[in-house]
A = this chain, B = another copy of it.
Amino acid sequence: MTTQQLQEQIQTKKSFLCIGLDVDLNKIPEHLLATEDPIFEFNKAIIDATHDLCVSYKPNTAFYEAYGITGWKSLEKTINYINEKYPEIFTIADAKRGDIGNTSSMYARAFFKDLNFDSVTVAPYMGKDSVEPFLAFEDKHTIMLALTSNEGAFDFQTQNVDGKELYKVVLETSKTWKNSQNLMYVVGATKAEYFTEIRKIVPDSFLLVPGVGAQGGSLAEVCKYGMNENVGLLINSSRGIIYASNGTDFAEKARTEAMKLQQEMAEIIK
Contact = CB atoms under 8 A, between A and B. Distances in A.
A63 to B, nearest CB: 5
Contacts of A73: 69
Given A126-B150, A126-B152, A150-B127, A62 B169 contact: no
Interface in A110-160: 110, 114-115, 123-131, 145, 148-157, 159-160
Interface in A76-112: 76, 94, 96-101, 103-104, 106-107, 109-110
Interface string A161-192: 11000100110010000000000000000000
Contacts of A201: none
Give the number of times this chain occurs in the complex, counting copies. Answer: 2
A160 to B, nearest CB: 6
B150 A170 contact: no
A60 interface: yes
Listed residue (A69, A100, A129) with the most chain B CB atoms within 10 angstroms of its CB: A100
Given A101-B150, A123-B123, A127-B153, A69 B72 contact: yes
A100 to B, nearest CB: 4
A55 to B, nearest CB: 22
A155 B132 CA distance: 13
A233 to B, nearest CB: 19
A131 B99 CA distance: 17
Interface of A: 22, 24, 60, 62-63, 65-69, 72-73, 76, 94, 96-101, 103-104, 106-107, 109-110, 114-115, 123-131, 145, 148-157, 159-162, 166, 169-170, 173, 210, 215
19 contacts: A24-B106, A62-B104, A63-B103, A63-B106, A65-B106, A66-B106, A66-B110, A68-B114, A68-B115, A96-B97, A98-B123, A100-B149, A100-B215, A124-B156, A125-B125, A125-B148, A130-B152, A159-B166, A161-B166
Pairs A-B, 5 closest by C-beta atoms: A127-B152, A127-B155, A62-B106, A65-B110, A66-B106
